[in-house]
Structure 1
C-alpha cells in the first residue's frame, strides 16, 4: 500500500498540470498582454503550449489579477517589458505556476520592481529542468510568502534573482540561479534547500527584515563572483536569523565576503560548510554592527592581499568551533576583531578548537585591533593551533586596548622577522597553556610594545574597520602561563620587551637556540619595561640571558631560572637593568655592563652561576649563592662591583698553594662591601702549601673601594693537602688593608711587650737586622683521623694467648680429649679507650673501639712427650673503632671510623698440658678486611677500603713458686702487613702511602695464684706487666707532604684480671688494663671471655 502511494505521488508530481485537470484553457500567442481574467472569465486553469509565443513590447507579457487563484503552465515563450508574467491570487499564495519554457522581461531596476515572474500575493512556482525565468530586474518576485522550486535557470538582472517574503526555496542539482543578487528572503519564516548552483555578482543568499529560518546547502554551491565593490555570498541583516548547513560558499573578487551577519539581532549559524573568499581583502566569515555569526566544523579559506578568515567589528561577534581557517596573501588574518574609532563597541571573536594557517608576509593568525576609543575588541581562543608562514608574520597579536586570550593554543611561525605572540599599545594578550615555536632569522617568540608606538600592525586600509594608526595610549602587556616557547634562527630572541610594556611568565619555558639569539631582548622606547617570571625557565643557547641597549628594564624572577650562553646579561648604550631574583631562582652566565650603563642585581634565596668575568653597578646578595664556575685552561674569573652588600655565599675557585696563587676574585670598585657574606673556597688543583706572606687574595679593592671589618668570613673550610686555610683581612705589609686573603698558618703569637724605656746607650748599638716573621703551619684534623685509622686497622685484632684462652688449666679441666677430636668453643669481647698526641704535638686523637672475637678448638695432638700436647683451632673477629681528631690552633674536628672483619687459625703447644707448667708456644695467623671513613667538619665524607694480615709467635714459661704462686715470663713477636687503597678527596688532596708493615714485640711477665672454693669452683686472680714496642710504618703522604708519628713506639701496660672455673665445662675470664707512653699516650681496656669445653 505504501509503495503504491509513493508511486502515485511521484507520478502526480511528474505529470504536466494539463493532464490532471480537464478544464484547461489554452493561452494563445500574442503581441499584446494576455490577461487570463478576460481570456476566460470563469476558468482558473491555463496552459501555454509548446510553440506559444507571447512577445509584448510595452507591458506585461501575461497578466492574472486577484479575482481568483490561478493555475498556469507555460511550455512556450512569454516576454514582456514590465513583468514577463504578473500572477496575483485571490488568497495569499493561492496561485500556482509551472514553467517548462521561457519567461523573461527586459525591464530593469527603476520604477519596478519587475520580475520574469511577479507574484504579488505569493505563489507556488516550479521552474523545471531546462526552463528559464529571467529578467533585467528580478527573475522571481514574491510579494507575500510563497514556494519556489527550481531545477532550471533563474536569471536576474540588476536586482535580485529571487525575492521571497517568507516561504520556501528548493533548488535541485540541475538548478541554477544567476544575476546580481541570488535569493532574498525579506520577511517571515523561511526554509531553503540548494543542491544546485547559485552564482551571482552581488549577494548569493540574503536574509533580512526579521526573516528567520534554515537553508540547507548540502551538495550545493553559493558563489559570488564580484568585479568591484563589496560583495557577499551570504548575508543576514536587519534582525534576520539564518541557519546555514553544508555545501560550498565562494566569494571571489576584491573585498568579497563569504558570510556576514549585520545589525543587532541578526544571526547566522553555519555548520559543516566549506567557505572560500578570494581577492584583495576578501573575508570568509564576518559579523558587523551587533550581528552574530556562528561557524561550526567548517573549512574557511581566504586568498589575496589583506584577506581574512574571520572578521568581527562594531559590536559584531563571530563564534567558531572546530574546523579550519586558511589564508594566503600578504597582510592576511586568520581571525581578527576590530575596534570602533567612532567610540562604539568593538568586535568579538571566539574560537574553540580551530586550526588556523596563514601564508604571506606580515600575515597574522589571530588579531585583536583596537581604535583607542569605545568598548575594546577582543579575541578568545581555546585549543586548536595557529601556523603562519611569511616574513614579518605574527601568530597572535593584540593592538591598542584590546584583549586577546589563548588557552592551550599551539602557535608556529615561519619567516624572517616573524613573531609568535605580540601585544602593542595598551593591549593585553593572555596565553594559558599551549606553545609558541618560531623559525627563521630575527624572529621572536613573545613580544610586547610600549606607548609611543604605532598601534597598527600591517595594512590599515580595511573597508570594514576605521583604525586610526599612530594613536598611543600606553604600554601593552602579555601574560603567559604554562607556555612553552622555542625560537630558532639567527637573532631570533625568546621574548622581547619594548618601551614601557609588561611581559609576565608563569610556569613557562623560553628557549632561544639560534646564533646571537637572546632569551630576553629589551629595546628602549619611552618608559621602563617590565618582565616578571614565576616558576619559569628562560634559556639562550647561543646568546645572552638578557640583552639591552639603552633604556630601563625591571626584571623580577621568583622560583625561576635565567641562563645565558656566556652572558647572563649585557647592558649597553647607557641602559639601566634592575634584576631581582627571589625564592630559589637560578641565574647562569656572566654579567656584562658597558661603561656608562647601570646594572643592579638583587639576589634573595637564589643562586647565580657565574661563568665569566663580570661587572655590576650594585649587587645585593641576600642571602643567596654566587658560584663561580670552574676555571678552564687555568683562567680564573673576576667579579667587579661598585657597591656590594648581603649575607649570602660567594663560591670561589682557588688554587690552594702558596702566596700569590691564582683565584677567582671579588673586586670592590670605588664603593663599599658591607654585610656578613661568606666565601666558599673550592680547591682548583692546588697541592696545599704553607703561606709565608699575605697569602692568596680573594677580595680586592680599587679606586678607593673599602670593605667593612665583618663583611666576609670563610664558608665551611678551605683545605688542601694537610693544610687548613683561613681568611684574613689586610695584607701582611699593610699595602692592601681592605683586601682579604687566605693563609695556611696559625694566628701569629702576640708580640712581647715593649721594655720599659731606659737611658740611651752610648755609643749607639749597631742596627738589629730584620728577623723573618715566624710562620706556623695550620694543619687540618683529618690528618690525625687518617693516621688513627691506619693504626687501628693494622692492630685491631692483635692479642696474646691469655687474651684469647684465659687460664689454659681451667680450659682443660674436663681432662684430655681424644687425639684429633674437637674440645672447646670460646667467645670474648674487648672495649678500649685510647688517645694521645703526635710527636710534634700538632695532632691529638681519642678512640673508642670494640672487638668481638670467637673460635673453636678443632683438634689436639700429643707432641714432645706424654704430657705435651698441641692444640689447633680457628677464629673469626669483628671490630669497630671511632676516633676523634684535632689539630693545633684549629677549631675544626674530624672523625675516623674503622669497621673490620677477620678470619684466622691458631695453634698452641704445652709442655705440660695437664698442669700448664713449664714451657708453652702459641702462634696465630689472621687476614682482615676493613671499611674506613674520615668525616671532617663541613667536608664530604671520605670512604676507602683496606686489607691486612698479621702473624704472631709467642713463648712463655710457667714456673711454680711457694704459696701456690706461678710466675710466667712471656715474649711475643707479631708481623703486621696493612694495605690501604689510594684516596682522592673531593677537595683534590691525594692521600697516598698509608699502607704499612712492620714488627710488634711484647715482653711481659704474668703472675697468678689459684683459690679453690668449697663448691669446687676455682678463682685465679692475676697481674700482667707488658712492654710493647712497635716498629711499623706510621706515615701518610698528603699531596706528597708526609706526616706521621701519631703514636709512640714504646708502651707500657699493666693488666689485672680474674680467671674462673665454674664447672668442668664452663670457664671464663675478665681483665682491666691500662697502657701509657710518650706523647701523652694512654689506653684503657676491659676484656671478658667465656669458654665451653666438651
Structure 2
C-alpha cells in the first residue's frame, strides 16, 4: 500500500504485507493488525508528521520499520511488538526521527534499533533485545531503562543525558548499559556529556575519549562496573566514576600536565600509559580507591630525569594496593643527577601491599636509576614508590642472639652524599676511545725486531685487557686484534757506518669489549674497528751490528667506527679519527761475548730506551637516543715509556751469519699524562690507575735465513688500580 496525500492510516485488525510511504502521512495507528510475510515492513521515504503508534499483539507484530525520511513520533505501546530480521527499527543515514518511545518489545536479528541518521530523543521502559546501536546522532536525552546503548563507527554523538530514565540519577542503573563498540562493530567515541548507567564497556578495538566536560558514571558495585578492553583516553580534568576493570589500554591525552581521575577501584590487567608522547612528562592519574595489579598489567610513565624535583608523570592511589604491576619509566631528555629521597612516581594513601616492578632500564646522563618502595631519605615514608640514582643501602639484619653491645656508629656528616649508580656505558665509551688511541702504537722492536735491511714486514697482535673505572663500580674487559704491514722505501748512508731508513705502513685493528657494573648488574658492550696509514723513519749510528745510538719515529692517521650497546638500550654508533706520533731513542751497549762448544757466538747486550707517543685521536661528540650528550676526555695524551732491554745475540760462525736468534727480556715504566674517559652530560668517568703502568716483555727474534726473519713476544702490563693487559705479537720480515 502506498500513501499519497497526507492522511491517517488506522488498522484495527487488517493484515499488511508491506507499507511504503514516499509522500506524506499524518498518522499510522495499528491496534490489532499485523504484518505478514518475510519482507513485511513499513518503509518511509517521505514524511509521517503525526504518530506511528503500534499496539499490536504478538499475533499482530510489525515486522520492521525502515526510515530514510522524516518520522515525527514512533510509539510502541506496552502491548506492542516490533521485530525484524535485522532490527525492529532502522533509521538510515538520511532519516530523521523526532521521538522514539518503546513501552513494549523491540527485537531484531542483532539489534533492536539501528540509528544511522538523526534521533532527537529515545525513551525505553520496555524490552529492547540487542539494544540500540548508534552510528549517527541522538540530540537529546536517552532513557535506556534496562536496554543497552552501543556506539559504533567514528561519527556517533549523543547531546543529552544517558541514563535509565534520562535524568542524572546516580543511585541506581536499573540494568542500563552503555558500550563503545561490541564484538562485531568497532567505534571511536568522544564523551562530552553525562552517562549514568549500571555498566559501561569499551570493546576490544574501540576507543573512548573522555573529554573535560564528560561526566560518566558506572553505577554497579562490581569490579567491572566499567570495563575497558579497548582504548580509554583520559584528558585534562576528565573524571570517570565507578569501579574499572582494565584489560585494554588507559592512556592520557597528547597534551602535557594533564590531571585525570577515576573515582572508584581499579583492577588492571592491561596497560596504563601516562606518557603518550616523548615530551609529555607531568601527567597525573588519580585513583580515588584501591588498585589491584594482575598478571600482564603494565604502567608506563615519562620523567625528565634529574634530582628529587624532576618533572615526572605520577600515579596517585588514595586507597590500598595489592597484586603486582610492571612499571616502565622513560627518560624525556633529562640530564641525570643525584637523588636523595628519590623521584616519587607512585603515591599510595592506604595499605601499600602491592608490588611495582621496574620493567625497563632507566638511564639519564651517566646514571642508572632504580625503583624502590619508600624514600631513601625518609624511612617514615614507606608507602610510595621512588625512582633513585643513589645506591640503596640495605637495612642491617640484627641477630636475635647472642646479645652483643655494639658501639654506636657515628652519623654521617650532613653534607655526605650517597653514591650514585654509574652506567656501564661509561666504560664502553671509554674503552672505545682508549683503543682508538693505542691500537696502532708500536715501538721500533715491535715493527722490525731490530733486524733491519730494505724489506717488507707484517706484524700480528692479539691481546686482552681489564680496566677498572674511577667510579669504583664498573669493570671493562676487552679483546683486540691488530695487523700492520709496511715496507722500507728509502735508505741512505748517514755518517761513518750509520744509515737511515724511511718507510710506509698501514694497519687494520678491531677490539670488542664489555663492561659490567657489579652494583646494578647492568652491562654494556662496545666495539671499535678502524684503519691507519703512516710513515716511519729510523736512524742507526752503526748499521752493521745496530750498536750505539738509534732514533725511531713515526706519524700515523687513524679512523674508526665505534658502537656501544647498553643492556636493554638501543645501539649507539659514532666515529673517531685523528693523528698520532712517536719519537723513540735508545742506545745498544755490548757487554760481553762468549763461544759455545758448537761454535756459536753469544753476545750479551743492554739497551736502555725511551719513547714518547702523542695521541691525537678524538671521538665525535655524540648524543644518545635518550638525549645524553657524550664527549670523550683525555685528548692529546702524551705517553712516555722508559725502560731497559737485555738480549742475547746468538749466531753460528759456520753459516756466515745466515741464521741467528735473539731471546730478550724487557721492563718498562709507562706513564700517561691523561687518563682516557668520557663525559656524559655533566658527569665525567675515566680509567682508574692509568697514569703509571709496569710493562714486562719477553720474546725472541730470529733470522731463519738470509732473507726471512720472524719475531714473537708476550707483553704484560700491570697497575695498582686493577688494570692489566696481556698481549702476544708475531711478526714476519722479508728482506730483498
Report what 2:329 is aligned to: 681
Give yes or no for contact 1:917–1:959 (8 Å, CA) kept in 2: yes
Report what 1:980 is aligned to: 619
- The match for 1:303 among 23, 37, 49 is 23
Indicate yes or no: 2:586 matched with 1:880: no
Report what 1:836 is aligned to: 467
Report how far residue 1002 of structure 1 moved: 1.3
- The match for 1:554 among 197, 200, 203 is 200
Report what 1:946 is aligned to: 576
Output the CA distance in 1 between the equivalents of 2:668 and 2:506: 25
1:97-142 deviation line (CA, Å, top 9, x unaligned):
xxxxxxxxxxxxxxxxxxxxxxxxxxxxxxxxxxxxxxxxxxxxxx
Output the CA distance in 2 between the equivalents of 1:646 and 1:519: 36
Give yes or no for contact 1:1072–1:1084 (8 Å, CA) kept in 2: yes
Report what 2:479 is aligned to: 848
SS at match of 2:242: strand
Within-5 A mapping of 1:29-40: none
1:625-676 deviation line (CA, Å, top 9, x unaligned):
434345979744243341111153322233433334443222221x211112
Output the CA distance in 1 between the equivalents of 2:691 and 2:368: 28
- The match for 2:449 among 783, 798, 806 is 806
Change (3 A) 1:588 1:1062: farther
Output the CA distance in 2 between the equivalents of 1:801 and 1:547: 85
Indicate yes or no: 2:458 matched with 1:827: yes
Indicate yes or no: 2:357 matched with 1:713: yes
Report how far residue 936 of structure 1 moved: 2.3
Report what 2:35 is aligned to: 314
Give yes or no for contact 2:275–2:281 (8 Å, CA) kept in 1: no
Report how far residue 1078 of structure 1 moved: 2.1
SS at match of 2:432: helix
Report what 2:246 is aligned to: 603
Change (3 A) 1:386 1:536: closer
1:947-972 deviation line (CA, Å, top 9, x unaligned):
22211122233333423233333221
Give yes or no for contact 2:127–2:147 (8 Å, CA) kept in 1: no
Give yes or no for contact 1:346–1:370 (8 Å, CA) kept in 2: no
Give yes or no for contact 1:450–1:501 (8 Å, CA) kept in 2: no
Output the CA distance in 2 between the equivalents of 1:1050 and 1:866: 39
- The match for 2:388 among 737, 743, 746 is 743
Report what 1:1026 is aligned to: 668
Output the CA distance in 2 between the equivalents of 1:690 and 1:371: 72
Report what 1:787 is aligned to: 430
Report what 1:403 is aligned to: 108
1:941-999 deviation line (CA, Å, top 9, x unaligned):
33322222211122233333423233333221111113222233343333335471221
Report what 1:895 is aligned to: 525
Give yes or no for contact 2:249–2:272 (8 Å, CA) kept in 1: yes
Give yes or no for contact 1:368–1:399 (8 Å, CA) kept in 2: no
Report how far residue 874 of structure 1 moved: 2.9
Report what 2:94 is aligned to: 388
- The match for 1:923 among 534, 547, 553 is 553
Single out whichever of 1048-1057 and 677-686 deviates more from structure 2: 677-686
Indicate yes or no: 2:603 matched with 1:964: yes
- The match for 1:666 among 279, 291, 315 is 315
SS at match of 2:690: coil
Output the CA distance in 1 between the equivalents of 2:139 and 2:70: 19
Indicate yes or no: 2:4 matched with 1:278: yes
Report how far residue 927 of structure 1 moved: 1.8
Output the CA distance in 1 between the equivalents of 2:16 and 2:44: 25
SS at match of 1:687: coil
SS at match of 2:626: coil
Within-5 A mapping of 1:368-767: 376-378=83-85, 387-388=93-94, 392=98, 400-403=105-108, 427=112, 451-452=124-125, 472-477=126-131, 498-502=144-148, 510-512=153-155, 522-525=162-165, 526-531=174-179, 533-534=182-183, 538-540=187-189, 543-544=190-191, 548-558=194-204, 560-564=205-209, 566=211, 570-572=215-217, 578-582=225-229, 585-590=230-235, 598-604=241-247, 606-611=248-253, 612-616=258-262, 617-622=264-269, 624-629=271-276, 635-647=282-294, 648-669=297-318, 671-692=319-340, 694-702=341-349, 705-708=350-353, 711-731=355-375, 732-748=377-393
Indicate yes or no: 2:63 matched with 1:343: no
Structure 1 unaligned blocks of 5 or more: 1-255, 258-276, 294-299, 350-355, 406-422, 430-435, 453-471, 759-767, 818-822
Output the CA distance in 2 between the equivalents of 1:1017 and 1:988: 61
Output the CA distance in 1 between the equivalents of 2:216 and 2:293: 23
Please tell me the root mean square deviation across aligned C-alpha atoms, in Å.
Answer: 4.6
* Paired residues, number: 687
Give yes or no for contact 1:317–1:348 (8 Å, CA) kept in 2: no
Change (3 A) 1:319 1:872: farther
Change (3 A) 1:535 1:953: farther
Change (3 A) 1:566 1:724: farther
Report what 1:775 is aligned to: 418
Within-5 A mapping of 1:166-181: none
Give yes or no for contact 1:838–1:1045 (8 Å, CA) kept in 2: yes
SS at match of 2:445: helix
Report what 2:730 is aligned to: 1088
1:979-1032 deviation line (CA, Å, top 9, x unaligned):
222233343333335471221111233333344589965443222222211113
Report how far residue 341 of structure 1 moved: 3.3
1:307-361 deviation line (CA, Å, top 9, x unaligned):
99xxx962145599xxxx993435599xx99995361465479xxxxxx994446
Within-5 A mapping of 1:172-321: 257=2, 278-280=4-6, 289=15, 302-305=22-25, 314-318=35-39
Indicate yes or no: 2:723 matched with 1:1075: no
- The match for 2:490 among 860, 883, 898 is 860
Give yes or no for contact 1:804–1:828 (8 Å, CA) kept in 2: yes
Change (3 A) 1:603 1:371: closer
Report what 1:210 is aligned to: none
Single out whichever of 885-894 and 371-380 deviates more from structure 2: 371-380
Report how far residue 593 of structure 1 moved: 7.3
* Structure showing greater relative contact order (alpha-carbon pairs closer than 8 Å, 6 or more residues apart): 2
Change (3 A) 1:901 1:326: farther
Output the CA distance in 1 between the equivalents of 2:413 and 2:694: 44
Report how far residue 399 of structure 1 moved: 9.4
Within-5 A mapping of 1:77-92: none
Report what 2:597 is aligned to: none
Give yes or no for contact 2:550–2:586 (8 Å, CA) kept in 1: yes
* TM-score, normalization by structure 1: 0.55
Give yes or no for contact 1:728–1:740 (8 Å, CA) kept in 2: yes
SS at match of 1:790: helix
Give yes or no for contact 1:343–1:375 (8 Å, CA) kept in 2: no
Report what 2:629 is aligned to: 990
